Amino acid sequence: MYGSGEGVRPPYHAVAEWLGTQALGDLRQKLADAETMFRRTGITFAVYGSEDTSERLIPFDIIPRIISAAEWRKLAAGIEQRVRALNAFMFDIYHRQEIIRAGKVPEELIVSNSAFVPEMMGVSVPLGIYSHIIGIDIVRTGESDFFVLEDNTRTPSGVSYMLENRETMMHMFPDLFARNRVAPVENYPENLLKTLESVAPTGLKGEPTIALLTPGQFNSAYYEHSFLADQMGVELVEGRDLAVIDGYLQMKTTQGPRRIDVLYRRIDDDFLDPLVFRSDSVLGVPGLFDLYRAGRVTIVNAPGGGIADDKAIYSYIPEIIKFYTGRAPILQNVPTYNCRKADDLKYVLEHLPELVVKEVHGSGGYGMLVGPTASSSEIEAFRAKLTANPSNYIAQPTLALSTSPTMVEAGVAPRHLDLRPFVLVGDEVRMTAGGLTRVAMRAGSLVVNSSQGGGTKDTWVLQD
């Protein structure tokens, strides 16, 4: 909220003023009301490995995070450039691999990468798009310094929280919206539907039938799956509802089998088709991949998209952007040490207490070391893992992440946050202003993942 100079930065003026007039007790009451609303609606989230595995609320903070129109314009331009380049990269990797021939990305980084799906080689996908739904994690470290922390090109989640957070805020604080011109977010489901329709199998006549594939109601993101299916008016299906019948993907309806043209899947590649990937998967559909290769159904996002959000590839993204767009990246990467490189590994091992070390294929904040807050025994344990398998890790300096006022036990206090805008790539690039703001609820913590106790905030992009 504060810049390098004196006082509150302009985008926050109205909210800071409002915050100054609110009694702490009233704000707490509002927060309790919001939690009751979330529980009633059933916006819950399962945390793997926790004792009560059933359902939990993600902490919601009632003080919005604010981005000015000018800041958003820059972010949006950078994001659009990035998602176009990422898709061009995936197309290239699964076709002629020009970027490897040009020596910009090492071959072994691709072919020996577990996120690379060789079965996708030469497959032609509608509009040449692989990753239709992308979440780009962005952090801010200064007034005009935004960095991309990571790309999520497989099945990014969290968009339902972006929508429900706004819904809740508008319900509880209508006067705040009257005083600020906040860009709307509720067009996301409609844009998602348009995007899905635009990548229907080539040559399909008539309206495509779309379905959302979920692993089921015990998945951590089930609420989001059902929310999106509902908002788009498409069937929410599980693997057991699907079968390959008469050469097409069909869902088993009350009136018999019905064809599906576009499958928005929220299960991982490994589980899609037991005949091609994990043979013990019961979440997917035997024979699905063959249909996909034959162009009889579109899978969104395409299998194999993980090659673009792999943390080892991440450090090459600036090169990738230059290679495919011919321009310098608008948004910068966080400086990254690739532990597969001997020099980088040496540096990382010498500076563990200052660095954040992550697994190359990890997500959700699991299996990472946050040097500055780790104990010396945690650091030594991590050192052993790192030395044993260096190419499994990357490291980044600890960034001075921006903070935003947040309701905590002691009152209103600054907490670190990041931003995940959601981008849709189909016949055009569609973006919702803002995204999901995740906030670390513990003082000083930099880990914002909901699986690690992080919370969320409504994100406002102000209009000029």
Residues that bind other proteins (CB under 8 A): 39-42, 216-217, 222-223, 226-227, 229-230, 235-238, 240-241, 251-256
Q: Which residues of 294-322 are buried (b: 16+ CB within 10 A; e: fewer)?
A: eebbbbbbbbbbbbbbbbbbbbbbbbbbe
CB neighbour list of residue 289: distance below 8 Å, 6 or more residues apart: 119, 272, 273, 275, 276, 277, 303
Assigned token pair, 47: 């945390």
Which residue lies nearer to other proteins by CB, 110 or 237?
Answer: 237
Which residue lies nearer to other proteins by CB, 87 or 209?
Answer: 209
Q: Are 224 and 215 in contact (CB under 8 A)?
A: no
CB neighbour list of residue 34: distance below 8 Å, 6 or more residues apart: 60, 62, 168, 172
Overall size of the chain counted in residues:
464
| Strand, helix or coil for residue 204 | coil
Extract the runs of DSSP E, i.e. beta strands, from 111-144: 133-142
Q: Tell me: cis bond preceding 301? Omega within 30 of 0 counts.
A: yes
* Shortest distance in whole angstroms from residue 239 CB to other proteins: 11
* Shortest distance in whole angstroms from residue 54 CB to other proteins: 11
* Shortest distance in whole angstroms from residue 58 CB to other proteins: 17
Which residue lies nearer to other proteins by CB, 254 or 377?
Answer: 254
* Shortest distance in whole angstroms from residue 252 CB to other proteins: 5
Assigned token pair, 202: 């080539």
* Shortest distance in whole angstroms from residue 454 CB to other proteins: 24
* Shortest distance in whole angstroms from residue 143 CB to other proteins: 41
SS3 string of 207-245? CCCEEEECCCCCCCCHHHHHHHHHHHCCEEECHHHEEEE
* Shortest distance in whole angstroms from residue 260 CB to other proteins: 11
Which residue lies nearer to other proteins by CB, 137 or 238?
Answer: 238
Which residue lies nearer to other proteins by CB, 212 or 360?
Answer: 212
Which residue lies nearer to other proteins by CB, 38 or 89?
Answer: 38
Which residue lies nearer to other proteins by CB, 43 or 357?
Answer: 43
